[in-house]
């Protein structure tokens, strides 16, 4: 069953049409990846789903309800959160306080907040060790973990990740991808935007290729890994 579906979504920045009739589906329980070059519209797709930018036309349905006219915070309440590109942690708040910021949709349910925090700390033991440290003093990899952890605090059904491997050392990239798999195994459906197409397709069930705002190619991730066009354009093969 599709947990998230975009149907013919068009998003503009002024006169620039950044998304052109984008249609895609994320089935419940899956990891779906959206790959593409710089400026292809990957972040715009996630921002449109999150309600941070409005589509000019098309429909977005999440968990059976249309969300394309919902304010961003209501979309979070529905169970859809995003870990933004470039980490964007609050530098002057501690790790614990950063996590609290992700839990506002749980209201005053302190028990639920604490249970989620424990779950995040189990996924990211390094964050637990640094819970009193200021966000701005963490390493790049730790900030990435915190950004993902914060998005998990709302206990989402669907987590969207924008370039979680960006700027990380290879060893950390693997660790982040392993954690994404662990999050998925806990029952969270994942929509993953990545420039690291090979790693993303190895992790995902299904993939979409985005080129200048449109989707020319989609398929099971395994098939895309072996697709000649994908290999040439995105996997650096001759």
By CB under 6 A, name the binding residues for ligand ATP.
13, 16, 18, 36, 38-44
Q: Backbone phi, then psi, for 149, in 5-degree steps? A: -60, -40
Cβ distance to ligand ATP smaller for residue 1 or 16: 16
* 236 alpha-carbon distance from chain centroid: 24
- Shortest gap between Cβ of 167 and ligand ATP (angstroms)? 12
Question: Measuring CA to CA, which residue among 4, 12, 39 is closest to residue 163?
Answer: 39
Cβ distance to ligand ATP smaller for residue 39 or 91: 39
Cβ distance to ligand ATP smaller for residue 9 or 18: 18
The answer to whether 127 and 146 have CB atoms below 8 angstroms apart is yes
- Shortest gap between Cβ of 93 and ligand ATP (angstroms)? 25
- Shortest gap between Cβ of 195 and ligand ATP (angstroms)? 6
How far, in Å, CA of 134 to CA of 137, rounded? 6
The answer to whether 95 and 146 have CB atoms below 8 angstroms apart is yes
- Shortest gap between Cβ of 49 and ligand ATP (angstroms)? 12
The answer to whether 32 and 205 have CB atoms below 8 angstroms apart is yes
- Shortest gap between Cβ of 165 and ligand ATP (angstroms)? 12
Q: State the maximum Cα–Cα separation within the chain, in Å, rounded to a whole number.
A: 56
- Shortest gap between Cβ of 110 and ligand ATP (angstroms)? 37
Cβ distance to ligand ATP smaller for residue 64 or 86: 86
Sheet holding 80-83, edge to edge: 80-83, 158-162, 189-194, 31-35, 206-211, 214-220
Cβ distance to ligand ATP smaller for residue 42 or 87: 42
Is the alpha carbon torsion for 230, 194, 165, 3 positive or negative? negative
Cβ distance to ligand ATP smaller for residue 97 or 218: 218
Is residue 42 classed exposed, middle or buried when 0-12, 13-18 and 19+ CB atoms within 10 A define those classes? Answer: buried
The answer to whether 158 and 190 have CB atoms below 8 angstroms apart is yes
Cβ distance to ligand ATP smaller for residue 100 or 212: 212
Query: Residue 173: which residues within 8 A CB-CB, separation 6 or more?
Result: 165, 196, 199
- Shortest gap between Cβ of 147 and ligand ATP (angstroms)? 15
């Amino acid at each position: 069953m599709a947990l998230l579906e975009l149907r013919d979504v068009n998003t503009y920045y002024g006169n620039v049409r950044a998304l052109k009739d984008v249609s895609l589906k994320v089935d419940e329980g899956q990891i779906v990846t959206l790959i593409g070059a710089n400026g292809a519209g990957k972040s715009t797709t996630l921002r449109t789903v999150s309600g941070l930018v409005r589509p000019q036309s098309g429909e977005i349905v999440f968990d059976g309800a249309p969300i394309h006219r919902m304010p961003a915070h209501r979309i979070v309440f529905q169970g859809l959160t995003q870990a933004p590109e470039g980490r964007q942690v609050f530098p002057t708040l501690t790790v614990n306080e950063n996590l609290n910021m992700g839990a506002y949709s749980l209201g005053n349910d302190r028990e639920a907040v604490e249970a989620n925090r424990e779950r995040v700390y189990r996924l990211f033991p390094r964050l637990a060790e640094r819970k009193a440290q200021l966000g701005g003093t963490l390493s790049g990899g730790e900030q990435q973990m915190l950004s993902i952890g914060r998005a998990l605090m709302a206990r989402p059904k669907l987590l969207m990740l924008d370039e979680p491997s960006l700027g990380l050392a290879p060893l950390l990239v693997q660790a982040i991808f392993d954690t994404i798999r662990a999050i998925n195994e806990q029952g969270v459906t994942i929509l993953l935007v990545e420039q690291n197409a090979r790693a993303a397709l190895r992790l995902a069930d299904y993939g979409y290729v985005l080129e200048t705002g449109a989707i020319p190619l989609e398929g099971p991730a395994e098939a895309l890994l072996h697709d000649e066009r994908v290999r040439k354009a995105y996997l650096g093969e001759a």
